[in-house]
Amino acid sequence: MSEALVDALAEFHAVDYEALGLSDLGKPDGFIDRQIEGWNRRWHAARTTDLADMDTVYAWLKANQPDNAFVSLVHNDYKLDNVMLAANDPGQIVAIFDWDMCTLGDPLSDLGALLTYWTEPEDPPYLQATAMMPVGYPGFLSRSELVTRYAEKSGRAVEHIHFYHALGLFRLTVIVAQIYIRYRRGQTQDPRFAAMEMMIPALARRACELTST
């Protein structure tokens, strides 16, 4: 499953979007900076408390943007629960869903976002508590194996993957905060959302840790 997930992402990023008439799908120039600024604005609109870690990550992201000129289609929400696996072959992806944020930009932002959902048995308990992927499942790729496989399949350099991973965690923290504040305001009654309060500082803490990697 994990190998298929990575392979499909590399194949997707290799799609000739110009041949498909998708050259006007987005504005790749300044894509990463817009991501940083946009999620920072959403954070300040959704936060229920101040988090110094988020301020640290924002400043680090602004100061450490990689010089990556490569442009591809970007899914913007690529993860295990947005794909369909073949019923008789869990190593084959037959469909990818949730295309509403697809655009043109830096493909490594998809890889970094995927890493945010990847939790390993050796991770500290606070991070394992946020797990959205199998933890310690036999044969499931580690984060480093995922990155190595993507680099092999795509032929792209991944030396700045910590930046994209931190950006993905910064973004995920904001998404969780947006969901949680709706719960706090009574806009949703789903009791599961109460647990997201503890996820916000945990994800921000992990993102902050990556800034010193």
Can you give the CATH number for the domain in which 21 is found?
3.90.1200.10
pTM attached to this predicted model: 0.94
Assess contact for 121 and 200: CB atoms under 8 A.
Answer: no
Amino acid 139: pLDDT: 83
Mean pLDDT for 54-62 is 98
Task: Say whether pLDDT at 82 is over 90.
Answer: yes
Amino acid 206: pLDDT: 93
Amino acid making up residue 45: A
Alpha carbon separation from 184 to 9, 48, 99, 141 (Å, rounded): 35, 9, 29, 36
Amino acid 160: pLDDT: 95
Domain count, the chain: 1
Q: What is the DSSP letter of 199?
A: H
Amino acid 204: pLDDT: 95
| CA nearest to 105, candidates 151, 68, 66, 77 | 68
Structural domain boundaries enclosing 140: 2-210
